[in-house]
């Protein structure tokens, strides 16, 4: 099996490498500083083997791929009922940074768009802001199986320019979706987006989800099995924003993207896949990330509705 997968990811890597469409995110000044043609693919199995090619150990910020992990932590801290009362689980078909609440429920439509993600951050427990952030970073680290570093430069860049997210925070406060200081929730969200990962880390984080919440290398439990189902469900319908429907048709796996250029996908009970390449399409999803995931899904018949 080993060589077959190595050969396959090498072939997909070579095919997809020629794609140079899309632009690196530059609305956060520090993000524009990355090498646009970096490219890595990793596939981690639930028994802890990682196949990797290209820039698989190159650090970049997790950005929105943080959202399912903080949502999982909020679920563990508060319980599903309390979290559901604040954040819906309906696909929005909206861009990630839409300033929106569902007009009927007056809740964010889901935890994968910023409104829902900022709400999820506000639900993480801890005595103070520093403790809450450390709990988030420690949780992500359990999924990756190593201590993940914080990228101060990206955080400062985002905090300086994040007016839209602040507007979302204040909107959430005015509708009582967030209690307490909305600036704290938004700051926590900026910080969680600024945690550095590699493509290899992301594949292991995805494999931890695939392994029902247990890290395949360290054997440490990162989230409860009940949480896994809820998080993967929301990733299936909302993880790729307004590109979620096409992704489901073409790739057919619960997934999450981030504007740092990462994408991760989960095949429950089997594998985690991650791709890193910073040029983004109009939805803010990595162009090569989407193409590589599509090719891998087709070749390995990973679509969750595939019948042999
Ligand atoms: N930090 C980013 C933001 O909220 C994350 C967005 C993303 O990765 N889609 O603007």
Render pLDDT for 204-237 as a digit per residue (tens, 0 to 9): 999 999 999 999 999 999 988 889 999 999 999 9
Confidence label for 1 from pLDDT (cuts 50, 70 and 90): low
Ligand 1 atom nearest 117 alpha carbon? 4
Confidence label for 95 from pLDDT (cuts 50, 70 and 90): confident
- Which residue's entry shows tokens 């992301």? 202
Query: Are 123 and 80 spatial neighbours (Cβ–Cβ below 8 Å)?
Result: no
Superfamily of domain 64-193 in the CATH hierarchy:
DD-peptidase/beta-lactamase superfamily (3.40.710.10)
Identify the pLDDT of residue 98: 87
Identify the pLDDT of residue 241: 84
Average confidence (pLDDT) over 144-155: 98
Give the CA count within 13 Å in the CB-facing half-sphere of 252. Answer: 15
Q: Is the pLDDT of residue 30 over 60?
A: yes
- The first and second tokens of residue 259, run together, are 């504007």
Average confidence (pLDDT) over 168-173: 97
Active site includes 294?
Answer: no
Nearest CA to ligand 1 atom 4: 114
Identify the pLDDT of residue 2: 64
Report the distance separating Cα 13 and Cα 238, nearest Å.
26
Full strand arrangement of the beta sheet holding 255-257: 50-54, 40-45, 271-276, 262-267, 255-257
Q: Same topology for domains 2-61+196-300 and 64-193, yes or no?
A: yes
Give the 3-state DSSP-derived string for 90-117, with helices as H, strands as E and coil as C.
CCCCCCCCCCCCCCCCCCCCCCCCHHHH
Identify the pLDDT of residue 168: 97
Superfamily of domain 2-61+196-300 in the CATH hierarchy:
DD-peptidase/beta-lactamase superfamily (3.40.710.10)
The response to whether 189 counts as a known ligand-binding position is yes
pTM comes to 0.97
Average confidence (pLDDT) over 19-38: 94
How far does the centroid of ligand 1 lie from the alpha carbon of residue 20, in Å? 22
Confidence label for 242 from pLDDT (cuts 50, 70 and 90): confident
Tallying the residues shown for the chain, one arrives at 308
Q: What one-character DSSP code corresponds to residue 46?
A: T
- Per residue in 46-73, pLDDT (tens digit) is 999 999 999 999 999 999 999 999 999 9
Point out the catalytic residue in the list 51, 71, 140, 189: 189
Active site includes 276?
Answer: no
- Which residue's entry shows tokens 């440490």? 220
CA-CA-CA-CA dihedral for 140, 53, 301, 222, to nearest 10: -10
- Per residue in 273-290, pLDDT (tens digit) is 999 999 999 999 999 999
Q: Is the distance from the beta carbon of residue 284 to the nearest atom of ligand 1 less than 6 Å?
A: yes
State the sign of the Cα–Cα–Cα–Cα dihedral 147, 44, 24, 282. negative
Identify the pLDDT of residue 133: 98
Ligand 1 atom nearest 259 alpha carbon? 8
Point out the catalytic residue in the list 56, 64, 66, 277: 64
Active site includes 67?
Answer: yes
The SS3 call for residue 197 is: strand
Active site includes 189?
Answer: yes
Identify the pLDDT of residue 100: 86
Report the distance separating Cα 255 and Cα 266, nearest Å.
6
State the sign of the Cα–Cα–Cα–Cα dihedral 195, 73, 270, 278. negative
Active site includes 256?
Answer: no
- The first and second tokens of residue 263, run together, are 């994408």
Average confidence (pLDDT) over 26-49: 95
Identify the pLDDT of residue 247: 94
Q: At residue 52, what are phi and psi to the nearest 5 degrees?
A: -145, 150
- Which residue's entry shows tokens 């952030």? 133
Q: Is the distance from the beta carbon of residue 61 to the nearest atom of ligand 1 less than 6 Å?
A: no
Q: Is the distance from the beta carbon of residue 63 to the nearest atom of ligand 1 less than 6 Å?
A: yes
Ligand 1 atom nearest 164 alpha carbon? 10
H-run or E-run covering 100: none
Whether the complex's predicted ipTM surpasses the cut of 0.90: yes
Number of other CB atoms surrounding residue 157 within 10 Å = 20
Report the distance separating Cα 221 and Cα 227, nearest Å.
12
Average confidence (pLDDT) over 256-285: 97
H-run or E-run covering 260: none
Identify the pLDDT of residue 49: 97
Q: What percent of the chain is modeled with pLDDT above 90?
A: 90
The residue extents of the domains of the chain are 2-61+196-300, 64-193
pLDDT averaged over the chain? 95
């Amino acid at each position: 099996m080993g060589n077959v997968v190595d050969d396959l990811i090498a072939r997909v890597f070579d095919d997809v490498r020629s794609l140079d469409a899309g632009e690196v995110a530059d609305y956060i000044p520090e993000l524009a500083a990355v090498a646009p043609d970096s490219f890595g693919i990793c596939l981690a199995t639930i028994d802890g083997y990682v196949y990797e090619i290209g820039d698989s150990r190159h650090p970049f910020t997790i950005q929105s791929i943080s959202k399912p992990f903080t949502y999982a932590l909020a679920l563990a801290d508060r319980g599903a009922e309390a979290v559901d009362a604040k954040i819906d689980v309906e696909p929005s078909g909206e861009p990630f940074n839409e300033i929106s609440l569902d007009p009927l429920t007056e809740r964010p439509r889901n935890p994968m768009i910023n409104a829902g993600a900022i709400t999820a951050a506000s639900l993480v427990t801890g005595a103070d802001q520093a403790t809450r952030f450390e709990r988030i970073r420690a949780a992500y680290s359990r999924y990756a199986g190593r201590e993940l570093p914080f990228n101060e430069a990206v955080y400062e860049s985002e905090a300086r320019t994040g007016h839209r997210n602040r507007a979302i925070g204040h909107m959430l406060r005015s509708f009582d979706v967030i209690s307490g200081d909305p600036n704290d929730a938004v700051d926590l969200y900026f910080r969680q987006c600024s945690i550095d990962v590699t493509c290899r880390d992301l594949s292991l984080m995805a494999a931890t989800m695939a392994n029902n919440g247990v890290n395949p290398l360290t054997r440490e439990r990162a989230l409860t099995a009940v949480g896994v189902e809820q998080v993967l469900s929301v990733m299936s319908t909302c993880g790729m924003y307004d590109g979620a429907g096409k992704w489901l048709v073409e790739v057919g796996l619960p997934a999450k993207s981030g504007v740092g250029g990462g994408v991760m996908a989960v095949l429950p009970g089997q594998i985690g896949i991650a791709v890193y390449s910073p040029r983004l399409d109009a939805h803010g999803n990595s162009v090569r990330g989407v193409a590589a995931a599509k090719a891998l899904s087709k070749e390995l018949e990973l679509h969750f509705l595939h019948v042999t």
